[in-house]
Amino acid sequence: MLQETPLPEQIDASRGDRLRVLVVGAGVAGLTLAQLLRRRGLHPVLVERAGPDAPSGYMLALMPLVDPVLRALGVTDEYLSGSVAMDRYRIRGRHGSLIAESSLGEMFEAFGDYRGIDRGRLMAALASRGGAVSHRTTVTALDRRGGAVTAALGETEAEFDAVIAADGLHSATRGLVLRPGRVEARDTGWGGWVVWSEPDADEDLGEELWSVGAFAGTYPVKGRIGTIVCGPREAKAAGLDAFLARLRAAVPRAGARMDRVLAEAADGRESYYWPLVDRRSDTWTVGRVGLVGDAAAGFLPTAGIGAGMAMESAWVLAERLADCEPGRVEAALADYERAQRPRVEAAQGNSRGLARLMFNESAAAAAVRDTATRLLPLSVALRPIRKLLESRPEA
């Protein structure tokens, strides 16, 4: 586990490093990067604006893109024990009937497992080798003059050879180096409630309901099922129960699992609301400051690849920085961007395309979509992701 550490202690430990690195954000990307650099003998300063008791979040589906990253971290066993293999994927159309079922295992078996894990267990696996973190700490200013970056962290100032912003979709650190016009915002106009249900016998099955004006997805993780119920954002004001009532009136039956989890979502259990927006920065590097994960390109959840791409990008960045001399930081960051940005933006484009299919408010368009989904195999829709797997970076 990560150890809460006073910021001055982290800064002192980094002073003797060949390369002094500040990682802002201890989410999936930032934690992956910091732990990889620690494995290579560095002492990156890792800070997080949230407290240690912040909610751990939602369910994730991770493609085999993450396998080499986990091996480099030495946490493959922890990941496997905390996750489940997802082999089957099922789509129900606008009336709740089954319109497609595919084997994810067959699609990805040449590369590894497609696995479901909740974010808390993933973070625990990434942190299982230990390390320092300073919570409730933010960067308020960056002075990029000279041969280093001086970061203001509350009342503390420290000098670093590289600063990496990994503080999420709405990154405040990104805002210190990029004007708002340089960050594209794609807003679907939809949002989703995430709720948890008890597991069933089909722990390898991901199932979705593509209705009109509503979407529901159920995804197994270790010991439970994560469900997201999505609709146009104006439905948020009336609340989840009212939205579910409308959905069930339109689709009274949608199979045993979907019927159960939608009923349980209305029983008063805790939910988490997720506005379905993404971000794309027009550059990932500004001098000695780099962006990674959602700070560089934040994904919609529709293709189940955002977290995997964040981990892959953190790995590629760590490879560039681990043996880098201070004078080569800008070149190393530029090389990282050249390698990863085209891959990440291709995956992000795939997620955006799937969102247009899933988040549909037209009955006529939904009918056409259902027919096309019956006829076209899932492998066609996921062909861009398979290409990413075929061209995975190497250490």
pLDDT digits (tens, 9 = 90+) for 280-327: 999 999 999 999 999 999 999 988 899 999 999 999 999 999 999 999
Q: Would you place residue 382 in the very low, low, confident or very high pLDDT band (cuts 50, 70, 90)? A: confident
CA distance linking residue 189 with residue 176, whole number of Å: 27
Residue 35, CA atoms < 13 Å, CB-side half-sphere: 27
- Tokens at residue 7, please? 């910021």
Confidence of residue 56 (pLDDT cuts 50, 70, 90): confident
Collect all residues with Cβ–Cβ distance below 8 Å to 127 and sequence separation of at least 6.
Answer: 1, 2, 31, 35
Contact criterion met (CB below 8 Å) for 125 and 155? no
> Which has the closest alpha carbon to 209: 378, 359, 374?
359
* Domain 2-60+120-184+279-354 coded CATH 3.50.50.60: yes
DSSP state of 162: E
Q: Is 133 left (phi over 0), alpha (psi -120 to 50) or beta?
A: beta
CATH 3.50.50.60 region(s) of the chain? 2-60+120-184+279-354
Is CATH 3.30.9.30 the right assignment for the domain spanning 89-117+187-276+357-390?
yes
Q: What is the pLDDT of residue 394?
A: 79
d(CA 161, CA 148): 5
Element (H, E) at 109: none
Residues of the chain with CATH 3.30.9.30: 89-117+187-276+357-390
Tell me how far apart the alpha carbons of residues 8 and 44 are, in angstroms, rounded to a whole number.
13
Residue 53 has pLDDT above 90, yes or no: no
Residue 129 three-state SS: coil
Band the pLDDT of 230: cuts 50, 70, 90: very high
Asked if pLDDT for residue 18 goes beyond 80, the answer is yes
Nearest to 249 by CA among 234, 266, 237, 233: 266
Mean pLDDT value across residues 342-352: 94
Most confident of 104-113, 122-131, 301-310, 345-354: 122-131
Does 378 have pLDDT greater than 80?
Answer: no
Query: Is the pLDDT reported for residue 4 higher than 80?
Result: yes
